[in-house]
Amino acid sequence: MTLLTDLTALLGPAHVLTGADAHRLAHDWTGTYRGSPLAAVRPADTGEVAAVVQLAARHGIPVIPVSGNTGLTGATYTENGLLLSLERLNRIREIRPGSRLAVVEAGVILSRLHEAAEGHGLYFPLWFGARGSAMIGGVLSTNAGGSNVLRYGSTRALCLGLEVVLPDGRVLDLMSELHKDNSGYDLRDLFIGAEGTLGIITAAVMKLVPAPRAHATAALAMGSLPDALTLLNRLQEASGGLVEAFEFMPETYSRRLAQVRPDLGLPFAAIPPVTILVELGATAPFLAEPDAGGTPRLTALLQETLARAMEEGLVHDAVIAASEAQSRALWARREAAAEITFAKRPFIDTDIAVPLDRAEAFLTEIHARLAAFAPTAETLTVAHLGDGNLHFTVFPEADDPAFHDRVVETIEDVVQSLRGSFSAEHGVGLSKRNSMARRKDPVALDVMRAVKSALDPDNRMNPGKVLPE
């Protein structure tokens, strides 16, 4: 109670939440992890975040940062810890068009940054379904990915600088606007992807890029995943690397989409073995202009490349968006992935990465292994194929922990044999700590533990997450 009194004096009663008010922040998007925090606090700026962390340290209470709570791994779960919401740190401090950067606070919602950049003819190139609720602090803390990592990289590649409140309440100013700085260890990258276990990100300097003047978007019917990779390479060569997204949806995905979201429709009358959603983006005025036939040159480039692929039998059919509304309709089918996945329970969801040319080998091998001990289990796959990130979900008949563990370990076995990773873009949180223990290089774990111990010797920053016991 003394801590709550101190917090209330610092922040005001409206920003110290308990009971049901705190519990609205105490569960993740899936609803799988539902914690019982001591309280949730909503500081307004970096100074208040630092003061909260110092108070929590004085009382020996763990601090768990919360952003948009769109995570899938239980990274904000706590029992009797202090949830620290960043929702009031929501200022876009600066948009600097000349330097193509944005200085933003951790509570800025991703879609709001998109809109602010657009007002300057720029684009923040991190794009995924939860962009309307995910916050900058969260996407940095998990090193989030999305649909256009293929062209622009994950969140880490888009960050120049950070401001971080350390476990002792000091503020670490890493708000660099530099593209080159070789002055010692790169501390910025230490906090990106750390999920709040080393400190709390309160602000960041993010890169912006020129807004594309034109997009060309299409759904493609194809026969196999290897054919799709062949086409991806051809499109990259033909366009000079303008492919922004290359999304893989196999037949099982399309059938489930038709069941759960029939209102979205399907692009083809007959469901093909593989549906690819491809999007190219161009900033060059020439590619945005119409050709002699009135078609934007970027779209014409896509049409020509697909026409040659169809002549070879590589592509069986194509639907090319002729308007923004048609493009949105194509994307809606892909962005329904989380909804259609979690509509069926129980589920075992994974977020893996493999080298691009081994994605087919993963799917072939994992289905063969599952058939040996789980012949009735359904599976669902959707992938950011351009960067090798597969979301592979298994639907068992019963919610059996032992079966769950066997499935996950089997998936890990296949991924490891292909030199892949068990975590691509969703982070580790609670749900993948056992995978960390089993699969992460032991020396790497020792180094991570040494860093954690050095920065947070009392283990108060989001304890129990990322690192295995």
Where are the chain's structural domains? 2-85, 92-210, 214-335, 344-427
Which residue is listed with tokens 């940062």? Answer: 65
- Does residue 346 have a cis bond before it (omega within 30 degrees)? yes
pLDDT at 87: 97
Please tell me if the domain spanning 92-210 has the same topology as the one spanning 344-427. Answer: no
pLDDT at 346: 92
User: pLDDT 10s digit of each residue in the chain, 469 long?
Assistant: 699 999 999 999 999 999 988 988 888 777 778 899 999 999 999 999 999 999 999 999 999 999 988 888 899 999 999 999 999 999 999 999 999 999 999 999 999 999 999 999 999 999 988 899 999 999 999 999 999 999 999 999 999 999 999 999 999 999 999 999 999 999 999 999 999 999 999 999 999 999 999 999 999 999 999 999 999 999 999 999 999 999 999 999 999 999 999 999 999 999 999 999 999 999 999 999 999 989 999 999 999 999 999 999 999 999 999 999 999 999 999 999 999 998 999 999 999 999 999 999 999 999 999 999 999 999 999 999 999 999 999 999 899 999 999 999 999 999 999 999 999 999 999 999 999 999 999 999 999 999 999 999 999 999 999 999 8
Residues forming a β-bridge with 34: 27
How far is 408 from 394, CA to CA, in rounded Å?
A: 9
Please say whether the beta carbons of 90 and 107 come within 8 A: yes
Read off the pTM: 0.94
Q: Return the CATH number of the domain spanning residue range 2-85.
A: 3.30.43.10
pLDDT at 187: 97
Q: What are phi and psi of 271, to 5 degrees?
A: -70, 120
pLDDT at 389: 97
CATH number of 214-335, picked from 2.40.50.140, 3.40.1390.10, 3.30.70.2190, 3.90.1170.50: 3.30.70.2190
Q: Return the CATH number of the domain spanning residue range 344-427.
A: 3.30.70.2740
pLDDT at 28: 77
CA 130 to chain centroid, in Å, comes to: 9
Which residue is listed with tokens 């951790």? Answer: 106
Q: Return the CATH number of the domain spanning residue range 92-210.
A: 3.30.465.10
pLDDT at 71: 87
pLDDT at 1: 64
pLDDT at 23: 86
